[in-house]
Structure formats: C-alpha cells, structure tokens
Structure 1
Amino acid sequence: MIGTVLEALPLPYPDAVVVVGTAVVGFVAGALGPLAVLRRRSMFGDAMSHGTLAGVAVAFLVTGAKVPELLLLGAAISAALAALAMIALERTARLRPDAAIGVVLSVSLTLGIVLLTHIGGSGNSTQAGLNTYLLGQAAGMTERDIAIALVLGAVALAVVVMGFRVLRSATFDPGFTAVAGVPTWAVDLVSTGLLAMAVVLGVRTVGAILMVALLVAPVVAARQVTRRLSALVPVSGLVGAICGATGGVLSGRAELPAGPVIVLLVTAVALASVTFAPRRGVLARLRGRRAAFSEEPGR
C-alpha cells in the first residue's frame, strides 16, 4: 500500500519517501499537540524530546547495532523516564514545574550529548548517523520508517478517539473529571504516553532539539480558526502534515536539512494565522476595537 502511494506521487522515489514520511509524522505530532498545549505542558514535551537522545545512545550501546526499532524503543523509554523524573521532582521535591522541566531538560540533553560523543570516539563504524537524532535527518527515511509511523500513529489516534471525552474533560475541567471518578493520575499517564509516542516518531525526522515546535506550532495555528477540541485535533494534524510534506520537498530542492526547514515553515504558518485569522487574529481584533471605539457616544 505504501509503495503504491509512493509510486503515485510525481516525485523521485527518495523525495516521495520523505514527503509521505514527514506528512505522517507531522499529522501525528499536530494531532497530539493539543494534549501538550491545552494542558500547559509544551515545555514538558520539549524535555521529553531532549531525553530521547540518551535513550538512543544507550540502546545502541546495549545492542551494538543501529536498528531503527530498537533505537526508537530506547528513545521511548528515556522519554518516559524523563516524564517520570519531572513529575517526581514536582511532587516529592516540591519544585515548580518550570524548575523541574529545566533540570530534566538540561541533564538529559547533556547526558545524551556525552554518550553520543563517547560512541563517536569509540571507532565503531556502525555508529555513523546517530548524531542525526539531534537535528533530524528526513532524507534517511525508508518505507519501513513510514510503516512504523503509521502503525504507532494509528494506535495513538485511536486512543485519543476512544478516550476523547475523558481527555477533553481533564483538559478543560480537571475537577469534574476527578469528581466523576476518573483518576487524574491515569489521565496524566495516558496523555504523557501519547506525547512520548509523538516525540519518538518525530525525533528521527525533526530532531530532539526542534521536536517541540512540531507539537506546538500546528496547534497555535489551528486555534485561531476553531474553538472546539473535536475540530482542533484534525485541523492541527492537517497543518502539521502539510507543513511536514512541504518542508520535506523544499529541503530536498534546496539541499537543506528537513527538520529546520519544517520547523521554520510551520512557525511561519502559526505566525500568519495569529496575525491574519478572520476572527481571532491580531488584525481582526484591532479592527474590532476601532469599530467599537468609533461607535462610542460622542465620537
């Protein structure tokens, strides 16, 4: 099925793989982004993405092979450990959320860079390419990577659909969720797991440093055109998919790394949406204020 889609695109095979892969990753990240943005956990996701570096390095050290599935498993475990560390620091050490995020982010990134530097100096020829997890390398994607992203993305989105009411309630009215008998820790666990899955899928394409932008920027853009969460999720996913595919094409034509190009593109879309959105944009609000000011008595 993937091969058929790739052949149908009017692009060379390597470019088609990048376009489809970045579109899938962009859609999944954009659709799951509201779990971070609306619950004020954007930097939470950033710290998790930085934590994936150490997991990739440890997975390679343990297995001695650069198998994508094993590296992604290591990234997922380290992202989950980073999330648990932040929660533990908040609840046991009584640190403010921003302080806990800062500690985990800096420590996990430092550990990842140290491990990758150690691996790079070990003389192991199979380690070539591990540094691409820092800033991403969409050009190295394969059909197997797309298949993995589709399967994991489908699982994550299925969880969102089935638990949509609970997630919506926990986002906008956590007190009601607790009264209704749904444990807050369970909701936090599920949402954190979904964020970890989005981070792990995107870290190979966009990189650990820039992944948070692919989670946040599509949501910022989508929020300017819709107020309903049921519409926000697919619209945000669509923005991420379009920017991912477009960035993949542009980066290939300009011979630039795909991750930074995608991030710049999705950020530009978010800024344009914030500025020009018909009802909630900056210009629309300015026009509304001017109209209200001119209609005041005596004006």
Structure 2
Amino acid sequence: MIDWFLTALPLPYPDAVVVVGTAVVGFVAGALGPLAVLRRRSMFGDAMSHGTLPGVAVAFIVTGTKAPEPLLLGAALSAALAAFAMIGLERVGRMRPDAAIGTVLSISLALGIVLLTYIAGSGNSEQSGLNAYLLGQAAGMVERDIAIALLLGAVALTVVTIGFRVLRSATFDPGFSAVAGVPTWAVDAASTALLALAVVLGVRTVGAILMVALLVAPVVAARQLTTRLSGLVPLSGAIGAACGAVGGVVSGRAELPAGPVIVLLATAAAVLSVLFAPRRGVLARIRRRSRPGVATR
C-alpha cells in the first residue's frame, strides 16, 4: 500500500519517501502539540526531545545496530525518563518548573553528546549516521520508517480521540476534572506519553535540538484560526503535515537539510497566522480598534 502510494506521486522515489515521511511526522507532531502548548509545557517537550539522545546512544551501545526499532525504543524510554525527572524535581524537589526543565535539558544534552562522542571514537563502523539524531536527517528515511510513523501515529491519535473529553477538561478546567474524580496523575502520564511518542517520531527527521519547534509552531498558527480544541487538533496537524511535505520537497531540490527547512516553514506559518489571521490576527485587531465607536482594551 505504501509502495503503491509512493510510486504514484510525481516525484523520484527517494524524494517521495522523504515527502511522505516528513508529512506523516509533521501531522502527528502538530496534532499532539496542543498537549504541550495549551498546558504551558512547550519547553517540557524541548527537554524531552533532548532527552532522546542518551537513549539512542545507549540503545546503539547495547544492540550494536542502527535498526530504527531499538533506537526508537531507547529514545522513548529516555524521553519518558527525562519527563518523569522533571515532574519529580517539580513536585518532590520543589524546584520551579523552568529550573527543572533547564536542569534536565542540560544534563540530557550533555550526556547525549558525551555518549555519541564515545561511540564515534569506538571504531564501530555501524555508528555512522547517529549524529543525525542531533539535527535530523530526513534523507535517510525508508519505507519502514513511514510504516512505523503511521502505526504509532494512529495509536496516539486514537488515544486522543477516545480520551478527548478528559484531556480537554484537564487542559481548560483541571479543578473540575479533580472534582469529577479524574486523577490528575493519570492525565499527566497519558499526556507525557503522547508527547514522548511525538518527539521520538520526529527526532530523527527534525533533530533533537529543533523538534520543539515542530510541536509548537503549527499549534501557534492554528490557534489564530480556530477557538475550538476539536478544530485545533486536526488543523494543527494539517499545518504540520503541509510544512513537512513542502520542507521535504524544498530541501531535496535545494540540497538543504530537511529539519531546519521544515522548522523555518512552520515558524513562517505561525508568524503569518499571528499577523494576518482574519479575526485574531494583529492586523485584524488593529483594524477593529481603528473603527469609530469601537472600544479599545
């Protein structure tokens, strides 16, 4: 099925793999991004993305292979560990959220670079390409990567769909959720797991350093166009998919790294939306305030 779709696209096969792969990753990241942005945990996702690096390195040291499955599993476990470390520092260590995030982010990045440097000097011929997890390397995607992204993305979006009301209530009215008997820790754990999945899927394409932009920028753009969470999730996913697909094409034609190109496109979409959105954009607000008889706030 995937092979038929790839060959049907009016692109060379390697370019089609990159475009479809980056579009899938962009959609999943954009659709799950509201879990971070609306709960004011954008930098939480950044620390988790940096936290994937030690997991990738340890998984390679243990298995000795660059097969995506063990590396993604290691990245997921490491990202989850980084998330729980931040939560622990906040709740048990009584650290401020920004201090906890900064601590975990710095330690994760430093440990990841140390381990990657150790692997590079080990003489293992299989280690070539591991540094791509730092800045991303979409050109190395194959059909199996697309299949994994589709499978895990479908699981994540199914969870969001089933638990949509609970997630919405916990995001906008956590007090009501607590009164209704919904355990806060369960919602936090589910949100953290979904964010970890989005980060793990995108880290190879966009890179650990830039992954947070793919989580945040599509949400910022979509929020200017809709006020409903039920519309925000698919719209943010669509913007992420469009940026991923266009970035895949542009990077291939211009021989530029896909990750930074995708992030620049997503950022441009966010800036344009903030400025020119029909109702909530900056220019629309200026026009309303300049009309006679319209009160300014």
Please, which runs of 5 or more residues in structure 1 have no aligned partner? Answer: none
The one-letter code sitting in structure 2 at the alignment partner of 1:199 is V
Is 2:83 aligned against 1:83?
yes
Q: Distance in 2 between matches of 1:296 and 1:251?
A: 46
Conserved? CA contact 2:55–2:78, under 8 Å: yes
Contact 2:243–2:266 (CA<8 Å) still a contact in 1?
yes
Taking the TM superposition and a 5 Å limit, the aligned residue runs for 1:127-166 are 127-166=127-166
Q: How many residues align?
A: 295
1:295 deviates by 2.4
Partner of 2:21: 21
Indicate the residue corresponding to 2:60 in structure 1.
Answer: 60
Tell me which amino acid in the other structure corresponds to 1:37. V
CA distance in 1, matches of 2:19, 2:62: 32
Q: Which residue of 2 aligns with 1:172?
A: 172
SS at match of 2:16: helix
- 1:111 equivalent in structure 2: 111
AA aligned to 2:254 is A
1:69-88 Cα distance to aligned partner (Å, 9 max, x none): 00000000000000000000
SS at match of 1:204: helix
Change (3 A) 1:296 1:184: closer
Deviations 1:174-196 (A, max 9, x none): 00001101100000000000000
Task: Give the aligned partner of residue 273 of structure 1.
Answer: 273
TM-score, with normalisation over the residues of structure 1?
Answer: 0.98
Match in the other structure for 1:122: 122
Contact 2:49/2:203 (<8 A) preserved? yes
The CA RMSD measured in Å over matched residues stands at: 0.9
**1:72 matched residue in structure 2:** 72
- Consecutive unaligned residues of structure 2, counting only runs of 5 or more, are none
Counterpart CA distance in 1 for 2:118 and 2:52 is: 16
- AA matched with 1:149: A
Identical columns (%): 81
Is contact 2:288–2:294 with CA below 8 Å preserved after alignment? no
Detail structure 1 runs of 4+ shifted over 3 Å in the superposition: none
Residue identity opposite 1:289 in structure 2: R
1:88 match: secondary structure? helix
Instruction: State the one-letter code of the partner of 2:271.
Output: L
Instruction: Give 1:285 deviation, angstroms.
Output: 0.5
Write out per-residue CA displacement over residues 133-167 of structure 1, whole angstroms, 9 at most, x where no aligned residue: 00000000000000000000000000000000000
- Summarize the alignment of residues 82-101 of structure 1 with structure 2, pairs less than 5 Å apart: 82-101=82-101
Task: Call closer, same or farther: CA 1:179–1:11 in 2, change over 3 Å.
Answer: same
Other-structure match for 2:12 = 12
Q: Which of 286, 293, 296 is the matching residue for 1:295?
A: 293
In the TM superposition, residue 24 of structure 1 has moved relative to its aligned partner by 0.2
The residue correspondences of 1:248-263 to structure 2 (distance < 5 A) are: 248-263=248-263
**One-letter identity of the residue aligned with 2:115:** L
Residues 182, 64 of structure 1: alpha-carbon distance in 2 compared, 3 angstrom cutoff: same
Match of 1:203 in 2: 203
Tell me the distance in 2 between the aligned counterparts of 1:228 and 1:64: 47
Query: What amino acid maps onto 2:204 in structure 1?
Result: R
